Structure 1
Amino acid sequence: MSRLPDLEAWAIFAKLAEIGSFTGTAAELGISVATVSKAIHRLEQRVGATLLNRTSRRVMLTELGNHLARNATDMLVNAEHMETEAKSQTSTLAGVIRIAVPMSFGFRHVAPLLPDLLKKYEGLSIDLHLDDSIVDLIGGRFDLALRIANLADSSLRVRRICNVRRLLVGSPEYFQKHGRPEHPNDLVHHDCLGYVYLPTPGVWRFIHEQSGETVSVVPSGRLRANNGDALTASLCAGLGIAVQPEFTIWKELEAGALEAVMLDWSLPHLTLNAVMPPGTLRPARVMLVTDFLVEELRKALWAYYKYHKDE
């Protein structure tokens, strides 16, 4: 397997050819004269020829050295341009940001925030990906994702935004007809609408707020969906009850179209998180959008709805 080019040595050689002095090159690059000398020696060993003749006062390039110096200078200039462009891309508030967001949450709470952001920063572009499944941030080249879950430890960078409470809800008409469940075991007599991306979609786990009693039930019903909003119409039509996060149904609760029941029993809370790929250095535009979304979503009205109890 061939070795990679000694790019550092070629860069030092290009600077030496420009300045014409080992001492001057070392001072220009902030390295020692010995480091410059060793770099030139490595190159001569690699190419198998002398690249320069050194006297007590000056450096003279050989014919081969003079030819290679032009290529080395082009390489150094291109590398400097590449670094300059990269710094510009990471320091300016312009460019494309790819964001992955759960579908219902994205429609209801992220998309309405974007107009103000895009108006304020005209060079910014947002590629918003709406999907309730968990996307691969690295494979999908996403700069940022919002995830509603209790996240396991990983190499991803996580910023916690707020808790997400889940409620057991149904319409007043449904409860008039079928009664209000008071204990999780009562749910066996109810039509339970299912959301397939719950942490445990086949089991609903409840804990009593006072006694600490835990009860697990297996819900059954005539409707399952991979999006929480898809259940709302059937809930409001009195076709069943469902476990829904506050951000999905808080307006229906406020309007009286839905009611929360069994409030002395809670389901495990989830957390709204901003998740980014590994690493600590991020373009300024990514940090800008992340900070904006975290700040705005922490002020969301649904997070302070009357059914939400203080943590």
Structure 2
Amino acid sequence: MPNIAINEPVPFEYHAPTNIKEALALASQYKENFAYLAGGCDLLDMMKRQWNTSAHVIDLKSIDGLRGVTTNSNSVTVGALTKLMEVQQSKVSDGLRAFRNAASRVASPQIRNMGTVGGNLLQDSRCPYFRGPFLCYRHGGIVCDAHHGINREHAIFGGDRCFTVTPSDLAPVVVALDGIIHVHDIDGERTIPAHQLFLSPGQNIMSMHSLKNGSILTHVEFSVRPGQRSHFIKETVRNAWDFARASVAISLELREGRAHNVRIVLGAVAAIPWRDEPAERVVEGSKVDAATVEKAVSASVKGAEALQYNGYKIGLTRKLVRQALTEIMA
């Protein structure tokens, strides 16, 4: 259980491998008692508060090939250690602009100059009960304190013992864009469809992602397709700095005036990036006129279940879906 009063990390040994093989060997040696360091925005805070007490920190920043945005005629590859500010300033194709937009909405310029793509995708729950002095399910307890406590920021979809939400702005975008996650582990290199990277509480109450211990997310790959458009918007308490109260990422291909391969993915309303399949079915094959948009808006919150204080997220989700669909077709 975290101690919120502590502001000093436990002693740890620092390692700076120069290649992936060295990093994986260190991870194998120290097993459960290490942490990978990328940008450090989340990890260093957790270590100072002794929410993470790893005895070994393996810094990945000296490893070549994990940083940068590479574009060719039919794909874009983004290294996991690429700074969010680099993504914001990159010149990816218009079809992938949602990824650039999402990076530009993360926190402050200072954070975007430290935070990385991989770190943003893999960051842990920001639930105040998880990060406070409470023995919730994610800390091995037998209760979700948010279920009967203050739950304005919690899930309206997929609540299963735990009602945390994904804190990542990039996560709904990589799912909407059908991103491919490249991972190295002790068994070699493999790829994961983006939607399989994220785990619901029903799949794993202790982790928000599917990577095995010691695995390294190396880069994310996106296909570039003819007629592709994408868009991302989010709503926060203030205009900047904050984590989303809700967000929407949309990707579609426009052919002869009709939308195809539609992906509508909601952020900050579930523990995982939430595929809004009812809304997708409305838009698929349509001309996305005003009537279609309103039908999609009505369908977008099908199955939503509010807790005591987060019912506003249902109306907010409708608003964002309407805005995103309208703007992507503008």
Shorter-chain TM-score bucket reads under 0.3
Q: Which has the higher contact order (CA 8 A, sep 6+)?
A: 1
Larger radius of gyration: 1
| TM-score relative to the length of structure 1 | 0.22
Considering fraction of residues, name the structure with more helix.
Answer: 1
